[in-house]
C-alpha cells in the first residue's frame, strides 16, 4: 500500500464510520473597518512607524521627487544606477536614472542598494504591505535582496482590516506580506530591525 | 476509541526528537538548579507575555476570532482526508509534486532522495518544527548533506551544538553574552571585536549567512498553513531568512504535518490575525510568504510538498486529545506557563515543549513513551486562556493522565491507594474511619502546630520544602454533629 | 435561605476552622446552614491524577449526600470548579448517564463562597472586622475556571480594619496543583518560592485565598521559612468580628469552633 493510501486509511479509521458533519464556522468577527479613508491612512502610518519604517506622504505629481529624496536620505549620496525598479512602476514615478528589473538571475539583484516597487494592497490595522508578483510589485527577490525597499502605496489601495486585504488578493499569486523592515527578537526577545531582508523600509503614501 | 485499539501506529522510536532520556521531574531537577537559565527564561517570558497582552487587548473581536479559529480547525479535522486530497490536487495542478510520508523515517528518506537528485550536498533551511520533529538534519548529515539552519535562534542552537527549548525562540535559554561566546567560537571569520549588543549579533548572523543564501540550490521549509481549495502554502516569519530560502534556490522542499491544512483561503484571514499577536506579540510579523506551486520567472522552479503523518492520525483517533492537532505553534502557552518558565524547554525531552508539548508529544509517541509529561502541569489553566484556537489543554492533560493510568497492567502503590481512597470516599461510614486514621497523624507532631519535616515517602516529597499542619483532634463534620446533636 | 455546606474533604479533615467560619458567616447573615453528614469529597483529586473511573463512586456519593439541597456552598474554588466542570463528564464517560444528569443539576445549585455572597445573596459588606494587613492570592481555579474575578476583593475591601495590599504577579500559580506538588515537587517548590517572595514583598501579615489547598501549600512554605506571615482562608476573615478575633500572630483560627 502506498503511504498516501496508508495515511488516508488511518484518517478514515481514526474518524470512524459515522463521523459528524463539521460544525459551521461563524464569521462574526469584524470583516470590514468603518473608519474613513483619511483615518485609515493615519492608522497605516502609525503602525508602519511603530515597526520603524519611514512613511512620507505626497501628491500624485510628486512621487518621483519624493522617492528620490527618500533614497538620498536612506542611502546618502549614491549612483542612480544603484536603484532598481519593478517593471510595472510608471516611468513618471521612477527616480532619475533608476534601472528597471530586466529578469536577470535573482541573486544578481543583491548588487543593488535599493528597490522601488508598488504594492497590491495595504492593510492599515496591521501596517502591512502586500506585494503580489505583478509587474507593479515585481518578483519576490526584487523586494528582498537590496538593503533598502521603497514601496509606493496609493490611497485607494489601503484597506482597514486583514479580511478586507486578503479578499483583494489572488491566492495563486506569489504573495509577500511585509510589515516593517525585517526583524528578529531571537536574542532575549529584544526586537532588532534588519536581519536578512531589507534593513530600511520607506513607504511613500500617495494621497 | 484509542489509536492502539484501532491499530494506528504512533511515531516510531529511534528517529526524530519526540522523546527525552529522562522523565520530566528528573530533567527538571537539573534545570531548576541552573540560575542563569532561570533568569534568562524569566526575563524572556515576562517580556513576551507583556507584548502579547498589549496587542491582543487592542483587538475588540478577539473572542470571535478565537472561536472562529477553533471552529475552522475542528471542521478541518472532521474532514481531514478530503482536505488533503484537495490540497494534493491543487498543488499538483500548479506544478508542484506532493509526497506522502507515514512516519519520520519515510519523510527523511523522501527529502534525502529529493536533495540527492539535485546533485547538491548542502541545503538552507527555514525554521520548521516538523523537520525538527523528524530529525531531518541528522538524516541529511548521514547522507553527506549539510543542512544550514538560517533562523537566528536555530543558527545559535546549531552552532552551539545545542537543542531547541522553545517553539518560537529555540535559543530562549541563552542570553546575549552566551550567544556572543558561541558566535566567537564557531563562526568562521567573525569580527573578534564582536560585542553582545543584540544588533551586532544579528548583523554577524546576516554576514555569516548571506553568501550561503546566494549560492544555495535547495531550500527546505515547513509550512504554517496550506490552503486546500487553492494549494496556497504559507510561511510566517520575521527575519527574511524564510524569504531567502523560499525565493532564491532552484528547488524548494516543504515538509508539513498533515494537520496544517486549512480548507479555504478565507480561513487565513482568521489565522493571520491570531498567530502574530499570540506568537511574537506583534500586530503582524514582518514577513509572510504565500505561494501556490511554481511561478515561472519568480522563485523556485521545482517545488515538492511532503505531507507527514508521524503519529498525527493516532492523535486524531482520540476524541478528546485530537484538539491538540489544532495547534498553530504560536507558543503563547509556553510563555505563560509557570512550569515551563521554571523548568525550561529541555526538560520536556521533545521538540514540542511547554503545555502544548505535554499534550502533543505523549499522543504522537504513545502515552507510555512520554508518561511523565501529562503530569508536568499544575493545571493552572493559563495556557487555555491564551491559546488563540482555544485548545483546552488542562482537560487534555487530565484525560491523558487517565489514559496512562488505565493502560497499566498491574496496579502500583499509587493506584492501590487511590482505589482504597475511592472506596472510603464513596461510603460515609468508611470515610469517617479514614478521617479518624488521618487525625492520628497529630501524634507525630508531639503537640506542635506542624508535623515533622522528616516523614517517610511519599509524604516527604511534600515536607522536604513545606510544613504540613498537624491534623486536628476533631473534623468539622464531627464538631458540627456534636454541636447540633446529629 | 437554607444553605447546605460542603466542607470539602481537605477542609473537613485538616482545617475544620474554615468550614466552621463559613457556617458562622452564613448564619450571621441570617441563613440556615445544614451540613449533610454523608458528604466526603467532590472527586477532583482522583480525576486530576488520572483515576477518573475511581472518581465515579465518589461523585455518586456527593450527589447522594446533597440530594434535595436548595443551595450548596463550599469554601473552595477548585472543588466547586470540579463539580461544575468534571463531575458530570466523568460520570458520562463511565456510561452513568443518570448520575451525570444529577451531577449537572446539582452543579447548577452549587456555589463557591465569594460568588454565593456577591451574586446570590447580593452582599459585599458582610459586617466583618479584621484589623490586619492582608494580601489576596487569586487561586487558579477560582480565577480561570470559575471566573470569580474581583468578588473576593470586593468582600475584603468592605472588611473594617483590614489593610488590603496588592500582591505582585497575583495571577501566577502558587505551584500546588494537587498531586503535582508531590509528583513534581521540585518544580512546585520553585513556583512556591516565587509566590512566597511576592507575598513577603507586600509585608502583609496574612495571605488569604479562597482555597484551603493552595493556602496549605503557601502557608506550609511560609511556615518552613519562619517568615511570620501566615495564611488565613477568606471565610475566616469574613467570619471575624470585633467580638471574635485573634489579633495576634497565631495559627489558631480567628473564630472559635
Residue B449 contacts C, CB cutoff 8 Å: yes
Q: Residue A162 is nearest to which of B151, B171, B272, comparing CB atoms?
A: B272
Residue ranges of C 204-223 with Cβ closer than 8 A to chain B = 216-217, 219-221, 223
The stretch B22-29 carries a mean pLDDT of 97
Closest-CA distance, A51 to chain B, in angstroms, reads: 9
Nearest to A198 by CA among A147, A123, A133: A147
Contact B257, B310 (CB under 8 A): yes
CA-angle at B384, arms to B380 and B387, nearest 5°: 140
The Cα-based distances of B121 to A188, B151, B181 in angstroms read: 34, 20, 29
Contacts A–B by Cβ distance under 8 A? 258
Contact A198, A144 (CB under 8 A): yes
How many residues are listed for chain A in this entry? 207
SS3 per-residue string spanning chain C? CEEEECCCHHHHHHCHHHHHHHHHHHHHCCCEEECCCCCCCCCHHHHHHCCHHHHHHHHHHHHHHCCCCCEEEECEHHHHHHHHHCHHHHHHHCCCHHHHHHHHHHHHCEEEHHHHHHHHCCCCCCCCECCCEEEECCCHHHHHHCCCCCHHHHHHHCCECCEEECCCCCCCCCCCCCCHHHHCHHHHHHHHHHHHHHHHHCCCCEEEECEHHHHHHHHHHHHHCCCCCEEEEHHHHHHCECCECCCCCCCCCCCCC
Q: Do B465 and C177 touch (CB under 8 A)?
A: no
Contact C189, C197 (CB under 8 A): no
Residue B230 confidence (pLDDT): 98
CA-angle at B396, arms to B391 and B397, nearest 5°: 120
What is chain B's percent helix, strand, coil content, to nearest 5?
55, 10, 35
Q: What is the pLDDT of residues B58-71, one digit of tens each?
A: 999 999 999 999 99
Q: What is the DSSP letter of A129?
A: E
Interface residue of B172, B202, B293 to substitute, partner A, most A CBs within 10 Å? B202
Q: How far apart are the first and last CA of chain A?
A: 61
Residue C81 contacts B, CB cutoff 8 Å: no
Q: Pick the residue from chain B with its C-alpha nearest to A109.
A: B214
Residue A23 confidence (pLDDT): 84
Residue A19 confidence (pLDDT): 86
Residue B310 contacts A, CB cutoff 8 Å: no
Helix axes B476-483, C16-28, angle to 10 degrees: 50
**ipTM surpassing 0.95, yes or no?**
yes
Burial class (CB in 10 A: 0-12, 13-18, 19+), A15: buried
Q: How far apart are the first and last CA of chain C?
A: 23
Q: Residue B240 is nearest to which of A13, A51, A144, comparing CB atoms?
A: A144
Residue B157: its H or E element: helix B152-159
Nearest to B147 by CA among B157, B134, B136: B136
Residues B484 and C1: their CA atoms lie apart, in Å, by 18
Considering only CB atoms, which chain C residues are within 8 Å of B32? Answer: 186-187, 190
We find that the CATH architecture of domain C133-239 is 3-Layer(aba) Sandwich (3.40)
Residue B146 contacts A, CB cutoff 8 Å: no
Q: Do A139 and B298 touch (CB under 8 A)?
A: yes
Min mean pLDDT across A42-46, B171-175, C208-212 is at B171-175
Residue A18: its H or E element: none
Q: How do strand C163-165 and strand C133-136 relate by DSSP bridges?
A: parallel
Domain boundaries, given as residue ranges, for chain A: 31-206
Considering only CB atoms, which chain B residues are within 8 Å of C180? Answer: 375, 377-379
Residue ranges of B 249-268 with Cβ closer than 8 A to chain A = 258, 265-268
Considering only CB atoms, which chain C residues are within 8 Å of B43? Answer: none
Considering only CB atoms, which chain C residues are within 8 Å of B29? Answer: 186
Contacts of B88 (CB under 8 A, 6+ apart): B98, B307
Nearest to C155 by CA among C178, C126, C132, C121: C126
pLDDT tier, B2 (very low <50, low <70, confident <90, very high otherwise): low
Q: What is the DSSP letter of A62?
A: G
Residues A46 and C79: their CA atoms lie apart, in Å, by 48
Interface residue of B38, B333, B354, B425 to substitute, partner C, most C CBs within 10 Å? B425
φ, ψ of residue B253 in degrees (nearest 5) = -115, 115
The stretch B465-481 carries a mean pLDDT of 95
Contact C96, C62 (CB under 8 A): no
CA-angle at B188, arms to B183 and B190, nearest 5°: 55
Helix (H, G, I), strand (E, B) or coil at A184: strand
Q: How do strand A192-193 and strand A183-184 relate by DSSP bridges?
A: antiparallel
Contact B345, B334 (CB under 8 A): yes
Contacts of B396 (CB under 8 A, 6+ apart): B320, B321, B323, B324, B359
Contact A78, A124 (CB under 8 A): no
Residue with cell 508518561: B371
Which of B187-201, B454-468, C197-211 has the highest mean predicted lDDT (pLDDT)? C197-211
pLDDT tier, B479 (very low <50, low <70, confident <90, very high otherwise): very high
Residues B482 and B476: their CA atoms lie apart, in Å, by 10
Nearest to A192 by CA among B240, B193, B148: B240
Closest-CA distance, B368 to chain C, in angstroms, reads: 14
Ordered strands of the C32-34 beta sheet: C32-34, C2-5, C71-74, C110-112
Q: Residue C176 is nearest to which of B378, B439, B464, comparing CB atoms?
A: B378
Q: Domains in chain B, please, with CATH?
A: 1-409 (3.40.50.10420), 413-483 (no CATH)
Q: How many CB atoms are closer than 10 A to CB C232? A: 26
Residue B297 contacts A, CB cutoff 8 Å: yes
Which string of DSSP letters, residue by residue, matches B186-233? HSTT--TT--S-HHHHHHHHHHHHHHHHHH-SEEEE--SEEETTTTEE
Mean pLDDT (chain B, rounded): 96
Which string of DSSP letters, residue by residue, matches B57-74? HT-TTHHHHHHHHHHHHH
Q: Residue A6 is nearest to which of B102, B153, B273, comparing CB atoms?
A: B102
Nearest to B142 by CA among B193, B185, B108: B108
- pLDDT higher at A185 or B11: B11
Mean pLDDT (chain A, rounded): 95
How far is Cα of residue C178 from the mean position of the Cα atoms in its chain? 14
Task: Name the pTM for this structure.
Answer: 0.96
Q: Which residues pair with B152 in a beta bridge?
A: none
Residue C251 contacts B, CB cutoff 8 Å: yes
Helix (H, G, I), strand (E, B) or coil at B438: helix
Residue B156 contacts A, CB cutoff 8 Å: yes
Residue B423 contacts C, CB cutoff 8 Å: yes
Considering only CB atoms, which chain B residues are within 8 Å of C23? Answer: 480
CA-angle at B64, arms to B62 and B69, nearest 5°: 90
Residue B199 confidence (pLDDT): 93
Residues C84 and C150: their CA atoms lie apart, in Å, by 20
Q: Do B72 and A25 touch (CB under 8 A)?
A: yes
Q: Pick the residue from chain C with its C-alpha nearest to B453.
A: C224
Q: Do C178 and B379 touch (CB under 8 A)?
A: yes
When computed from its CA atoms, the radius of gyration of chain B, rounded to whole angstroms, is: 26
pLDDT tier, A190 (very low <50, low <70, confident <90, very high otherwise): confident
Considering only CB atoms, which chain B residues are within 8 Å of C171? Answer: 382
pLDDT tier, A188 (very low <50, low <70, confident <90, very high otherwise): confident
Q: Do C189 and B465 touch (CB under 8 A)?
A: yes
Residue B223 contacts A, CB cutoff 8 Å: no
Residue ranges of B 18-47 with Cβ closer than 8 A to chain C = 24-25, 28-29, 32, 38
Q: How do strand C230-233 and strand C206-209 relate by DSSP bridges?
A: parallel
Which string of DSSP letters, residue by residue, matches B88-99? HHHHHHTTEEEE
Query: Considering the domain A31-206 in this protein, what is its CATH number?
Result: 3.40.50.10420
Q: Residue B467 is nearest to which of C37, C65, C224, comparing CB atoms?
A: C224
Residue C242 confidence (pLDDT): 87
**Which residues of chain C carry a pLDDT beneath 50?**
246-257
Whether residue B300 has pLDDT greater than 50 = yes
Amino acid at each position: 500500500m502506498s503511504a498516501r493510501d496508508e495515511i488516508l486509511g488511518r484518517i478514515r479509521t481514526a474518524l470512524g464510520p459515522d463521523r459528524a458533519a463539521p460544525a459551521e464556522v461563524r464569521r462574526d468577527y469584524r470583516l470590514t473597518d468603518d473608519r474613513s479613508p483619511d483615518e485609515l491612512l493615519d492608522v497605516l502610518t502609525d503602525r508602519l512607524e511603530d515597526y520603524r519604517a519611514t512613511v512620507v506622504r505626497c501628491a500624485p505629481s510628486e512621487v518621483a521627487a519624493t522617492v528620490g529624496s527618500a533614497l538620498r536620505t536612506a542611502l546618502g549620496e549614491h549612483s542612480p544606477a544603484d536603484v532598481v525598479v519593478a517593471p510595472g512602476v510608471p516611468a513618471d514615478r521612477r527616480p532619475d536614472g533608476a534601472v528597471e528589473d530586466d529578469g536577470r538571475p535573482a541573486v544578481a539583484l543583491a548588487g543593488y542598494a535599493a528597490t522601488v516597487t508598488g504594492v497590491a494592497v495595504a492593510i492599515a490595522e496591521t501596517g502591512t504591505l502586500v506585494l503580489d508578483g505583478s509587474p507593479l510589485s515585481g518578483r519576490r527577490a526584487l523586494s528582498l535582496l537590496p538593503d533598502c525597499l521603497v514601496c509606493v502605496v496609493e490611497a485607494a489601495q489601503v484597506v482597514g482590516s486583514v479580511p478586507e486585504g486578503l479578499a483583494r488578493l489572488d491566492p495563486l499569486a506569489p504573495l509577500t506580506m511585509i510589515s516593517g523592515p525585517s526583524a528578529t527578537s531571537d536574542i532575549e526577545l529584544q526586537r532588532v530591525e534588519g536581519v536578512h531582508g531589507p534593513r530600511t523600509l520607506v513607504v511613500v503614501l500617495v494621497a | 476509541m484509542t489509536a492502539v485499539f484501532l491499530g494506528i501506529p504512533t511515531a516510531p522510536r529511534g528517529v526524530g526528537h519526540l522523546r527525552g532520556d529522562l522523565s520530566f521531574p528528573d530533567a527538571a531537577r537539573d534545570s531548576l538548579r541552573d540560575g542563569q537559565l532561570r533568569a534568562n527564561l524569566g526575563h524572556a517570558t515576562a517580556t513576551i507575555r507583556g507584548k502579547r497582552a498589549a496587542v491582543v487587548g487592542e483587538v475588540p473581536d478577539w473572542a470571535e476570532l478565537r472561536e472562529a479559529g477553533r471552529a475552522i480547525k475542528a471542521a478541518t479535522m472532521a474532514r481531514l482526508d478530503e482536505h488533503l486530497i484537495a490540497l494534493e490536487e491543487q498543488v499538483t495542478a500548479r506544478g508542484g509534486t506532493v509526497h506522502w510520508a507515514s512516519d519520520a523515517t519515510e519523510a527523511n528518506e523522501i527529502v534525502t532522495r529529493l536533495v540527492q537528485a539535485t546533485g547538491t550536498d548542502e541545503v538552507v533551511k527555514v525554521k520548521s518544527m516538523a523537520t525538527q520533529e523528524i530529525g531531518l538534519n541528522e538524516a541529511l548529515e548521514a547522507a553527506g548533506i549539510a543542512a544550514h539552519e538560517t533562523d537566528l535562534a536555530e543558527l545559535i542552537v546549531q552552532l552551539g551544538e545545542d537543542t531547541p527549548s522553545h517553539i518560537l525562540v529555540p535559543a530562549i535559554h541563552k542570553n546575549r553574552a552566551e550567544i556572543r561566546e558561541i558566535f566567537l567560537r564557531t563562526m568562521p571569520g567573525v569580527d573578534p571585536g564582536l560585542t553582545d549588543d543584540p544588533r551586532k549579533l544579528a548583523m554577524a548572523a546576516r554576514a555569516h549567512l548571506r553568501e550561503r543564501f546566494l549560492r544555495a540550490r535547495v531550500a527546505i521549509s515547513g509550512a504554517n498553513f496550506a490552503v486546500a481549495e487553492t494549494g496556497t502554502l504559507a510561511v510566517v516569519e520575521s527575519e527574511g531568512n524564510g524569504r531567502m530560502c523560499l525565493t532564491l534556490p532552484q528547488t524548494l522542499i516543504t515538509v508539513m504535518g498533515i494537520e496544517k491544512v486549512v480548507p479555504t483561503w478565507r480561513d487565513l484571514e482568521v489565522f493571520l490575525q491570531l498567530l502574530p499577536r499570540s506568537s511574537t506579540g506583534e500586530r503582524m510579523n514582518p514577513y509572510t510568504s504565500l505561494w501556490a506551486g511554481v511561478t515561472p520567472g519568480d522563485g523556485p522552479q521545482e517545488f515538492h510538498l511532503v505531507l507527514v503523518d508521524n503519529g498525527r492520525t493516532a492523535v486524531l483517533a482520540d476524541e478528546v486529545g485530537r484538539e491538540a492537532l489544532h495547534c498553530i505553534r504560536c507558543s503563547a502557552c509556553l510563555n505563560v506557563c509557570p512550569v515551563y518558565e521554571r523548568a525550561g524547554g529541555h526538560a520536556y525531552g521533545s521538540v514540542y515543549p511547554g503545555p502544548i508539548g505535554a499534550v502533543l508529544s505523549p499522543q504522537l509517541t504513545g502515552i507510555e513513551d512520554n508518561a511523565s509529561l501529562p503530569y508536568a502541569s499544575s493545571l493552572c489553566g493559563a495556557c487555555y486562556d491564551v491559546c488563540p484556537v482555544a485548545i483546552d489543554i488542562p482537560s487534555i492533560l487530565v484525560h491523558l493522565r487517565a489514559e496512562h493510568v488505565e493502560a497499566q497492567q498491574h496496579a502500583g502503590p499509587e493506584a492501590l491507594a487511590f482505589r482504597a481512597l475511592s472506596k472510603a470516599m464513596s461510603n460515609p461510614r468508611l470515610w469517617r474511619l479514614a478521617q479518624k486514621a488521618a487525625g492520628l497523624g497529630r501524634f507525630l507532631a508531639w503537640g506542635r502546630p506542624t508535623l515533622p519535616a522528616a516523614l517517610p515517602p511519599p509524604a516527604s516529597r511534600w515536607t522536604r520544602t513545606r510544613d504540613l499542619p498537624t491534623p486536628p483532634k476533631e473534623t468539622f463534620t464531627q464538631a458540627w454533629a456534636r454541636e447540633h446533636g446529629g | 435561605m437554607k444553605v447546605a455546606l460542603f466542607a470539602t474533604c481537605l477542609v473537613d479533615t485538616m482545617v475544620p476552622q474554615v468550614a466552621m467560619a463559613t457556617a458562622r458567616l452564613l448564619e450571621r447573615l441570617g441563613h440556615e446552614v445544614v451540613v449533610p453528614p454523608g458528604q466526603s469529597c467532590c472527586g477532583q483529586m482522583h480525576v486530576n491524577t488520572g483515576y477518573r473511573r475511581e472518581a465515579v463512586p465518589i461523585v455518586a456519593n456527593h450527589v447522594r449526600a446533597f440530594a434535595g439541597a436548595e443551595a450548596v456552598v463550599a469554601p473552595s474554588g477548585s472543588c466547586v470548579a470540579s463539580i461544575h466542570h468534571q463531575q458530570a463528564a466523568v460520570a458520562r464517560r463511565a456510561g452513568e448517564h443518570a448520575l451525570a444528569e444529577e451531577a449537572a443539576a446539582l452543579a447548577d445549585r452549587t456555589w463557591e463562597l465569594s460568588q454565593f455572597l456577591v451574586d446570590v445573596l447580593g452582599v459585599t459588606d458582610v459586617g466583618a472586622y479584621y484589623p490586619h494587613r492582608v494580601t489576596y492570592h487569586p487561586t487558579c481555579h477560582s480565577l480561570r475556571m470559575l471566573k470569580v474575578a474581583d468578588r473576593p476583593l470586593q468582600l475584603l475591601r468592605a472588611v473594617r480594619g483590614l489593610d488590603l495590599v496588592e500582591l505582585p504577579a497575583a495571577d501566577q500559580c502558587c505551584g500546588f496543583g494537587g498531586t503535582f506538588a508531590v509528583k513534581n515537587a521540585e518544580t512546585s517548590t520553585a513556583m512556591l518560592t516565587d509566590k512566597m517572595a511576592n507575598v513577603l514583598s507586600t509585608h502583609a501579615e496574612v495571605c488569604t485565598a479562597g482555597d484551603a489547598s493552595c493556602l496549605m501549600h503557601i502557608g506550609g512554605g511560609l511556615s518552613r521559612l519562619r517568615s511570620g506571615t501566615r495564611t488565613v482562608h477568606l471565610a475566616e476573615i469574613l467570619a471575624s468580628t470585633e467580638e471574635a478575633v485573634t489579633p495576634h500572630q497565631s495559627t489558631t483560627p480567628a473564630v472559635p469552633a
